[in-house]
């Protein structure tokens, strides 16, 4: 409850001087500054952020728009791991994170700009957004700096992004399968409204192409990035294309679903069918067989997102677009093609 006025009175200086002393301005006598610091400390003074924000227009707060912060995203710990990274970088630079809770109903009521302005956030990190999310379009017309995760948009100065090299990752995954002798390789993709789906499909095609294997669109099904979606997609794929010996999944969660489907069909992994996932979620290393997958450095992505955003906010020279390398992790769900 101590305000700057209390400190000023107790220290025998004006409010102005106290403010300038505490904020490190240089037109204040060192001895005065020491004295003021001392008094402020003794009184347990800490500035009121609301007042400061009101006048300075800076809140040292980052808004997080996580459309994936739902019960269903609990299984893949991706969002959480990114959150940890963001939180760490924000802490280092003394920023706070506020979680915007947006549900589809709320979005209709409140525009992106209103959301940001109300809360007075300096910048925004968006993740888990579909390409057709209305907020994405609104964001493009707003002046608030924003860093996107997994959505590469390079149209504006105040927008940055962080994503994994999905094309490379998918290529690595499929090359691995090809190296094992597989020629009939299916793919379970997410959905059309995800930038990563497009990239991963591209990597899949490129890898096939490079080895002279024709692309067959019957071999690709969408699984909506969900476990049950992956299961159903695997069912469809394996029943309609029995020649398949391997499946590349655009997410580990879908791969886990595929594993179930394969088991239900009485086949074995990797003896009958090889499976590669993407993301390297925690469950991937514990499931049986342990999943061969493409690792994304989720923590680092979150960390970078926060870092890039804050650099932008503080006017530092930044590399606004960051693409992280993907890394194939070979475990037990892939093996040589049967009969080879």
Partner DNA sequence: GCAGTTATCCGAAACGTTTCGGATGATCTG
Partner DNA sequence: CAGATCATCCGAAACGTTTCGGATAACTGC
What's the closest the beta carbon of residue 278 comes to its own copies, in angstroms? 17
Partner from its own copies, DNA, none contacting 317, C-beta within 5 to 8 A by type: none
Which candidate, 189, 185, 164, 190, places its Cα nearest to that of 175? 185
Indicate which of DNA, its own copies, none lies near residue 184 (CB less than 5 to 8 Å, by partner kind). Answer: none
Q: Rule CB under 7 A: which of 256-295 touch DNA? A: none
The CA radius of gyration of the chain, in Å to the nearest whole number, is 26
* Tokens at 16, concatenated: 């102005």
Residue 248 to residue 186: CA distance in whole angstroms: 6
Helix (H) or strand (E) holding 57: none
User: Residue from 27, 50, 154, 315 that binds its own copies (CB under 8 A)?
Assistant: 50
From the list 7, 17, 9, the residue with the least C-alpha distance to 45 is 7
> Which does residue 29 touch among its own copies, DNA, none (CB within 5 to 8 A, set by kind)?
DNA
Asked whether position 3 contacts DNA by CB under 7 A, the answer is yes
Using CB under 7 A as the binding rule, the residues of this chain from 38 to 97 that contact DNA are 45-48, 51-52, 54-56
Question: Please, what is the Cα angle at 325 between 318 and 79, to 5 degrees?
Answer: 80
DSSP code, position 100: E
CB atoms within 10 A of CB 136: 18
Binding of residue 321 to its own copies (CB under 8 A): no
Distance of alpha carbon 137 from alpha carbon 264, whole angstroms: 43
Q: Is 307 in the site for its own copies (CB under 8 A)?
A: no
Structure tokens at 292: 């061969």
Q: Which of 23, 72, 240, 285 binds DNA (CB under 7 A)?
A: 23
Among 20, 36, 65, 81, binds its own copies (CB under 8 A): 81
Member of 103, 193, 239, 340 binding its own copies (CB under 8 A): 103
Helix (H) or strand (E) holding 296: none
Closest distance of CB 116 from DNA, Å? 14
Would you give the distance in Å from CA 164 to the centre of its chain? 10
Subset of 256-285 contacting its own copies (CB under 8 A): 256, 282-283
Q: Given the rule CB under 8 A, which residues bind its own copies?
A: 1, 44, 46-51, 53-54, 59, 61, 69-71, 73-75, 77, 79-81, 83-84, 87-88, 90-91, 96-103, 106, 110-111, 113-114, 117-120, 256, 282-283, 286-288, 299
């Amino acid at each position: 409850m101590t305000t700057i006025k209390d400190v000023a009175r107790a220290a025998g200086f004006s409010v102005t001087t106290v403010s300038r002393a505490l904020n490190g301005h240089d037109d204040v006598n060192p001895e005065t500054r020491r004295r003021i610091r001392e008094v402020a400390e003794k009184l347990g003074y800490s500035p009121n952020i609301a007042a400061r924000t009101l006048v300075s227009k800076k809140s040292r707060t980052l808004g997080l728009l996580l459309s994936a912060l739902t019960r269903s995203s609990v299984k893949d710990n991706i969002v959480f791991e990114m959150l940890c990274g963001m939180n760490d970088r924000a802490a280092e630079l003394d920023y706070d994170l506020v979680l915007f809770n947006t549900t589809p109903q709320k979005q209709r009521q409140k525009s992106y700009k209103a959301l940001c302005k109300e809360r007075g956030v300096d910048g925004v990190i968006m993740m888990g957004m579909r390409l057709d999310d209305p907020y994405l379009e609104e964001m493009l017309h707003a002046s608030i700096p924003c860093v996107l995760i997994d959505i590469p948009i390079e149209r504006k100065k105040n927008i940055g992004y962080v994503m994994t090299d999905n094309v490379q990752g998918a290529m690595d995954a499929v090359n691995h399968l090809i190296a094992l002798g597989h020629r009939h390789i299916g793919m379970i993709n997410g959905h059309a409204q995800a930038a990563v789906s497009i990239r991963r499909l591209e990597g899949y095609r490129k890898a096939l192409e490079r080895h002279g294997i024709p692309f067959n669109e019957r071999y690709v099904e969408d699984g909506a990035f969900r476990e049950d979606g992956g299961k159903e997609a695997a069912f469809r794929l394996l029943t309609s294309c029995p020649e398949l010996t391997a499946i590349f999944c655009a997410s580990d969660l879908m791969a886990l679903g595929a594993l179930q489907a394969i088991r239900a069909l009485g086949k074995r992994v990797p003896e009958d069918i090889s499976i590669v996932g993407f993301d390297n979620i925690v469950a991937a290393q514990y499931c049986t067989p342990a999943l061969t997958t493409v690792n994304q450095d989720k923590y680092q992505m979150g960390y970078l997102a926060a870092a890039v955003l804050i650099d932008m906010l503080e006017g530092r020279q930044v590399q606004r677009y960051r693409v992280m390398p993907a890394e194939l992790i070979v475990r037990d769900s892939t093996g040589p093609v049967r009969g080879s």
